[in-house]
A and B are shown apart, each in its own frame.
Chain A
Amino acid sequence: MKKYNYDIVVIGGGPAGLAAALEAKKNGVEKILICERSARLGGILEQCIHNGFGLTYFKEELTGPEYATRFIKAVEKTDIAIKRGTMVIDVTQDKVITAENGEDGLFEVQAKAIILAMGCRERTRESITIPGDRPAGVMTAGTAQRYVNINGYLPGKEIVILGSGDIGLIMARRMTLEGCNVKGVLELMPYSTGLMRNKVQCLDDFGIPLYLSHTITKIHGKERLSAVSIAEVDDHKQPVPGTEITVPCDTLLLSVGLIPENELSQKAGVAFDPVTKGPLADEKRCTSVPGIFACGNVLHVHDLVDNVSEEAQNAGRSAACYIKNQLTRRTQSIAVKAGNNIGYVVPQQIDFEPGKDKVVKLYMRVKHPAQKVAMTIANDQGNILASFKREVVAPGSMETLALPVKMIAGNPEFLKISVTN
């Protein structure tokens, strides 16, 4: 078996992995390897041919492939090693990676630091247990997006979409543009779970109805999907008797959530946040295993790739500092807790002295939509260190708060983020 040595191994060549590797290179790391399981770099952006990417990072509006290409070109100008078509099979706490591809066979890499950037996967029909038949024609929105945008095939013509996640909304428009009839988007929650702009641009502008508090109660069709039964749900998400109707269709697309893809992180022994389903991470995006970093959708599901790039740069920079021994741990970590109407916060703790950093960026999602609120950061004494006004907050839009590091100079035991009216 071949054996290699690298300073940093980045697992995943999507937007997170590319930005992390580039930033580590900019910070003087010599030997960097990106392992990408697909034949091409860029990750899921390759199939996201719609626009809306890069508004904050590049200050211009790009498509997914354009956004990815900027990073791919930048990486290809460096001496960062890239192994495409390479599946990482194992990662150990000692930072030994086992991977395979057609060229090297099975091989091992000893790394000084590892950056986990494997992204996420879509929840399936069975992860939300829709009963009924099991015909062809039921697939995730992302799989349909690949068939349409990369392969040039249509999964069907008469479409129903379950879930108002961003991919579902994007695919409602995409299928319409391909000449399909998108009959409607159903959402279990009483609010849209995707970005507001996607709801407006992909549904409203194309006259596609969004039915909130609705779900699919049965799938019909022995061979190919023939219909779905849909019903309104009550406050407990249970179908309301008498509201069920059956809608003929040949395709059901699911956009019912994304799950960070952490099977490798588990093998590496990192600790997890049960809410994000990603590793616990600190402000440097270091996991509970020193020298193993995580960024992007493997850590928590982002709405905007711009935020992924920013987070990945942080992880890449931190990994570079780690191998150069430039990170100084605080005498005591500061826990970051989710308070009123906050689902989760990343990072979950602050471990290091700030160094040159002026602010700590905190990413979070609210549990329920709310209007005209203040998002507050309080210390362990209950004193509010910072407060940020928001006109609207919703679970579908990640919020970012920048906490000046001078506010935590007193080393509070914990910080608590809350939404207050």
Chain B
Amino acid sequence: METDVLIIGGGVIGSCIARQLCRYHLDITLVEKQSDVCMGTSKANSSMVHDGYNIDGHKLKGRLCLEANTMYEKMCRELNVDYRPATGSIFAGFTEDHLAIMKQQLENSKTNGLSGLYIANHDQMMALEPNISREVQYGLVNPNTGTINPFDLTMALAENAVMNGVKVFLETEVTNIHTRKGKIESVETNIGRFKPKVIINAAGLYSDKIAGMVEKVDGYIHPRKGSYFLYDKKWGDHVKHCIYSPPTPVSKGMIMVPTTEGNILAGSNAVEVNDREDFATVGAEMDEIYSHTIHRLFPKMPRMGEVITAFAGLRAASNTEDFIIGHAKTVPAMINLIGIQSPGLSSAPAIARMAEELVRETGEDLDFSERPDYNPNRPAPVILRNMDPETRSALIQKNPDYGSIVCRCETISKGEILDAIRRPIPARNLDAIKRRTRAGMGRCQGGFCGPRVVGILEEELGITPLNITKRGGRSNILLDKTKDLSLLEGGANSEKIQL
């Protein structure tokens, strides 16, 4: 398959680059080896959008983060993504040592051209965070730290790219790249061969492996695992800002974030791992996150019972601990983005702009004239819980599926689930529906809606429930049949003779 630009990786970076380039007369293809976009590092992170106050502005990642901050609001407005630029963050401190770090960071923020930060005393802290430990003495308050749902953003970017002609292939894994005399010949995948003019390697945890397919590379990824707790929405109001816990001699500072969805996210630690597929949580590490950060900052939050899920993500840390972005040394038409870890989500729009410059520099025969029909807007999906009663009622009158509640915990209707299956990047498994709609993301964790969602997927996609998975691959939910009954609620044929 011939294409102008082949993007490898459907995380926030690959998706953002796809959207950045889709405004031009380019044929763009994005391949993602997982069953959905946003399945790697982009999925499991703090969900914060950093303004870069505590980052070294001379590093590439510092520069891009600072640049991107000015681009975020417009991007999210166009994409109809719920971005909360003014959630604010507070670095909470207990000791003089912590105060000293705050003063350094405050100075750093000024060096980075940012304003609005200040150091709060104990009383101010208690006013800002009424539920925080009374032992907190100081806080470095940054009113400009934002929050976002990283999946929503990635999904919106990818959907908008598809709306503008980008072809997305899921469950498509690059297995080899063939070059000849510094030129790209072809890219092999499990579904066939692509012939791109330009390759953009946004493969996250595997970006070094992809880069290594064309030449020997210096940069490499050493995955660093971080685990999180997610608390029930009941606790949503307990934490008002993103709170950084101070580092201890044995542990780095962690964060507690009130998410845009109303949960509290707490984590994450940092553990070097060898396995790039190691997403397992570890009991002792979870205990440490709880005692080091959650309990120390918010003593009323319990270890168990109110936690609706816990998960781990891998940071794609590079050997330089900075972003490594540029042309492959021997193949100029291959652009590598290696080591995109925090603040990668925050830097995404600036990274995409930089990637565009690099594509232009390749000198390949590409048409960079703008498409007249380019549409930067992505319509917001129907979300009933955010609607006023009259609009919601009118919508149900028009389509009764919106009145049929499938997920009780999050109040998600059959209509919203069908939308997720029919969106530009269709959901084809339980987790894909969960991430798009929140069905199964609540306190019962899909115990109730799981079988119903399997039934809807069966009906809509016409596939047997035995082939429906949790998240693609071989993560099948059901392994065999018992009897020939039905998954459709009320759908079993139990009609009786009426005399």
Contacts and interface: CB of A to CB of B under 8 A. Distances in A.
Interface of A: 1, 37-40, 85, 87, 89, 98, 100-107, 121-122, 124-129, 131-136, 139-140, 142-143, 146-148, 150-157, 178, 217-219, 222-224, 250-251, 263
Contacts of A98: 389
Contact of A87 (B390, B393, B411): B411
A128 B307 CA distance: 9
Contact of B403 (A100, A122, A152): A100
B480 A154 contact: yes
Contacts of A147: 451, 478
Contacts of A251: 479
Contacts of B493: none
A129 B409 CA distance: 19
B84 to A, nearest CB: 24
B443 to A, nearest CB: 8
Contacts of B450: 139, 143
A129 B286 contact: yes
Interface stretch (B11-19, B212-220, B353-361, B468-476): B468-476
Interface string B432-463: 00000000000111111011001100000000
B447 A142 contact: yes
A201 to B, nearest CB: 21
B451 A143 contact: yes
Contacts of A106: 389, 392-393, 396, 403
B279 A152 contact: no
Given A105-B393, A131-B283, A143-B450, A152 B485 contact: yes
A178 B481 CA distance: 10
A102 B400 contact: yes
A269 B215 CA distance: 66
B181 interface: no
Interface stretch (B134-142, B308-316, B373-381): B308-316
B363 interface: no
Contacts of A103: 400, 403
A124 B482 contact: no
B286 to A, nearest CB: 6
A105 B411 CA distance: 14
B419 to A, nearest CB: 15
B486 A151 contact: yes
A107 B390 CA distance: 10
A101 B303 CA distance: 37
Interface string B288-318: 0000000000000001110111110000000
Contacts of B78: none
B465 A121 contact: no
B394 A105 contact: yes
A37 B412 CA distance: 13
Nearest to B491: A39
A223 B476 CA distance: 8
B408 A37 contact: yes
Nearest to B400: A102
B483 interface: yes
B308 A126 contact: yes
Contacts of A151: 451, 454-455, 465, 485-487
Contacts of A148: 482
Interface in B388-431: 389-390, 392-394, 396-397, 400-405, 408-409, 411
B473 A126 contact: no
Contacts of B482: 148, 152-154, 178
25 contacts: A37-B405, A100-B396, A105-B393, A121-B447, A121-B448, A124-B308, A124-B443, A124-B447, A126-B445, A127-B307, A131-B281, A131-B283, A132-B281, A133-B280, A136-B476, A143-B446, A143-B450, A150-B485, A150-B492, A153-B478, A154-B480, A222-B277, A222-B279, A223-B471, A251-B479
A371 B132 CA distance: 46
Contacts of B397: 105
Contacts of B490: 39-40, 85
B365 interface: no
Contacts of A104: 403
A140 B475 contact: no
A37 to B, nearest CB: 6
B97 interface: no
Given A101-B404, A142-B447, A153-B466, A126 B478 contact: no
Contact of A136 (B304, B448, B469): B469
The 5 closest A-B pairs by CB, nearest first: A102-B400, A39-B490, A152-B485, A105-B393, A136-B470
A100 B389 CA distance: 10
Nearest to A133: B280
Name the residue among A107, A132, A143, A178 with the largest chain B CB count within 10 angstroms.
A143
B119 interface: no
B445 A131 contact: no
Name the residue among A121, A125, A132 with the largest chain B CB count within 10 angstroms.
A121
Nearest to B494: A40
Nearest to B449: A143
Contacts of B465: 151, 153
Contact of B305 (A39, A127, A135): A127
A154 B479 contact: yes
Given A129-B304, A134-B280, A142-B447, 7 more contacts: A40-B490, A131-B280, A131-B283, A131-B310, A140-B447, A150-B451, A155-B478
B303 A1 contact: no
B114 interface: no
B331 interface: no
B480 A129 contact: no
B396 A102 contact: yes
A224 B429 CA distance: 14
A157 B489 contact: no
Given A102-B404, A150-B485, A250-B479, A143 B280 contact: no
Nearest to A100: B403
B127 interface: no
B304 A133 contact: no
A223 B474 CA distance: 6
Contacts of A39: 489-490
Contacts of A122: 444, 447
B307 A154 contact: no
B285 to A, nearest CB: 8
A38 B282 CA distance: 38
A344 B308 CA distance: 26
A271 to B, nearest CB: 16
A303 B279 CA distance: 38
A59 to B, nearest CB: 28
B126 interface: no
A194 to B, nearest CB: 19
Contacts of A134: 279-280, 311
B484 interface: yes
A178 B409 CA distance: 31
A37 B100 CA distance: 56
B477 interface: yes
Contacts of B404: 85, 101-102
Interface in B324-378: none
B129 to A, nearest CB: 24
A135 B389 contact: no
Contacts of A155: 477-479
Interface in B59-83: none
